[in-house]
Amino acid sequence: MDEFIAGLPKLELHLHIEGTLEPDLMLRLAARNGISLPWADEKSVRTAYEFDGLQSFLELYYLGASVLVTEQDFFDLTRAYLTRCAAEGVVHVEIFFDPQTHTARGIPFATVLGGIERALQTGEKELGISWRLIMSFLRHLSEEEAFATLEQAMPLLDRIHGIGLDSGERGNPPAKFVRVFARCRELGLPVVAHAGEEGPADYIWQAIRELQVRRIDHGVRCAEDPELLCYLADTRLPLTVCPLSNTRLKVFDQMAHHNVLNLLEQGLCVTINSDDPAYFGGYMNANFQALAHELGASMSQLCRLSLNAVEASWLSLADKARLTREIRSHAACHGVVLS
């Protein structure tokens, strides 16, 4: 099974680049930039990664991100992630970055974007990984601050492929950002939003009706609303689900209780992603392996999850057709019959 997963062409559609900061790189960048952290070594960093929910994780995640200062830091971070992707059979990535986490510390927007983009371009040439870049607004901040960030991004907007919404969900409903998302859509940018991770199913409806999202990030709490389940199955509006993230942040108490395969069997366009893999104990293959070993996912279901990611991606039709063929051929090589 693990060999089958390793060879399966995979696409990652829900990944925060700041969430790929491994403890060793965090400590190296802290030393390089003269930033003090409360940890002396990798082991004590990892020991701190015990979360009781999204908020306790976000506090460490923003602290970790404080070591990212120069364009080279953002390049090194992104390059390390892409190297992992290449080793794991990930062929396409659509990644989030949080400009406000950095501009609030005085790091120029162009420094952040420049380093990430240079690594993505180099990665595409050297590793063959295609990509899209999604700028996310922090939902614990105000809509005015999101508008100010959009203003800063305006001269660079042709280098950004979409808009997202992340950070603490409870008490920060999608509707809080209805005007800034309308402006982003007017500018021709597709929008997505985290919803239904810790927040209720109603936040998923808000993201759909008020923000007009192209995908929901997480969305697993849709299971609480039968009408929403029907809507998602009928429209195939994708959910980018993150199994290891959900168990580490206690959205589900254990992997055996995760609902992603139920959603798949009800006809929803669910996909598998790693969210913040440096903090949650694994990248794409670890997420697929957890589904296989702890939830009993079959090879056929894993292939369907990967095919869903092709459908949910922002790739061209020609690239989608090529990746569909590659996934189907991997399945056929292993005697897996796909409906």
Told to check if 18 binds Zn ion by CB under 5 A, we report no
Residue 12 pairs in a beta bridge with 93
| Tokens read off for 19 | 């969430």
Told to check if 12 binds Zn ion by CB under 5 A, we report no
Binding partner of 289, given ligand ADE, Zn ion, none, CB within 5-8 angstroms per partner class: none
Contacts of 219 (CB under 8 A, 6+ apart): 195, 196, 197, 204, 232, 239, 240, 241
14 marked as part of a ligand binding site: yes
Q: Is 3 helix (H, G, I), strand (E, B) or coil?
A: helix
The total of other beta-carbon atoms located within 10 Å of residue 209's CB is: 12
Residue 116 pairs in a beta bridge with none
Site residues (CB under 6 A) for ligand ADE, limited to 14-33 = 16, 19
16 marked as part of a ligand binding site: yes
| Tokens read off for 149 | 């960030």
- Please report, as a single letter, which amino acid is at residue 96: F
The active-site residue out of 12, 197, 265, 326 is 197
Is 12 a catalytic site residue? no
234 marked as part of a ligand binding site: no
The closest alpha carbon to 303, from 314, 294, 292, belongs to: 292
- Please report, as a single letter, which amino acid is at residue 72: Q
Binding partner of 167, given Zn ion, ligand ADE, none, CB within 5-8 angstroms per partner class: ligand ADE
**Closest CB to ligand ADE among residues 117, 217:** 217
**Closest CB to ligand ADE among residues 138, 264:** 138
**Residues marked as catalytic:** 197
Q: Which residues bind Zn ion (CB under 5 A)?
A: 275
Binding-site residues for Zn(2+), in ranges, read 14, 16, 194, 275
Q: Which residues bind ligand ADE (CB under 6 A)?
A: 16, 19, 54, 61, 166-167, 194, 197, 245, 275-276
Binding-site residues for substrate, in ranges, read 276
